[in-house]
Amino acid sequence: MSTLTHADLLQLKRWNTPTIYNGWEQITKRNAAAEGFNLEETRDFMPQMGPMVGYAVTVTFEPSNPKHRETNANAWSEYRHYVASVPGPKIVVVQDLDKPRVIGAFWGEVNSNIHRALGCVGTIVDGAVRDVDEMTNAGFKALARRMCVGHAFSHPVRWACEVEVFGRSVKPGDLIHADKHGFLVVPPEDQPGLLEAARFMDANECNTLIPAARDAAGRSASEICDRIDAAGAAFGVAAKAKFQRGGEW
């Protein structure tokens, strides 16, 4: 499943998710204005932990429905063996079938510690979390819609399947980069060039537009605008030479 080394993933983790997006949009053949990122608002409950990066493992649940426990009483064990079988680091992507209602949380202190032991670094759940302080203590990051008190009839329904969270489809094995801004889903074909592209676009900003904008002391408004125009042009030239695309400027 993995196309990047763990060292590469650690380097991707050094940048925020918008910076990774800036690199991704240069190399993808997909519509960077409509694909890849969450389309609905999500909340990072551990922003102090910084970004998380990992490969998606997926599961659905329906905490309002007690019948799932009767259908497959062994589902939790089977699901955990699936998670354990996938190389890490992993991000658990959870579709809450009760949406738009929030009945119960898939995540709390115990489940977070269990998944941390299975090589998972965090979750994106289109539903609720609880025990947020304890989840943080476990080193398990969560992006979710809200918090809630109970777990209701939380039980895995399907896993290792395509899911939809926050308006975005996610498949097992997709690379995910997530932080307080939201998340980016990187398909397999875009993963090999992602790190180099993110590095280049970050350096391109630092070499052109950012210094032009910050070196404004003592300059007239006209001179500042002229310098920014020139820097924007240089940014585009560098991006086009590297990727045959102009970038956002």
Model confidence pLDDT, tens digit, residues 210-237? 999 999 999 999 999 999 999 999 999 9
How confident is the model over 164-189, as a mean pLDDT? Answer: 96
Q: How confident is the model at residue 121 (pLDDT cuts 50, 70, 90)?
A: very high
Residue 221 — φ and ψ, nearest 5°? -60, -40
Output phi, psi for 215, to 5 deg.
Answer: -90, 65
Beta bridge partners of 44: 143
- What pLDDT, in 10s, does the model give residues 67-86? 888 888 899 999 999 999 99
pLDDT category at 88 given cuts 50, 70, 90 is confident
Burial class (CB in 10 A: 0-12, 13-18, 19+), 217: exposed
What's the length of the chain? 249
pLDDT of residue 1: 53
pLDDT of 244 reads 87
Q: Is cis: bond before 47, omega within 30 of 0? A: no
Q: Model confidence at 206, in pLDDT bands (50, 70, 90)? A: very high
What is the C-alpha to C-alpha distance for residues 165 and 110, in angstroms, rounded to an integer? Answer: 23
Q: Quote the pLDDT of residue 247.
A: 72
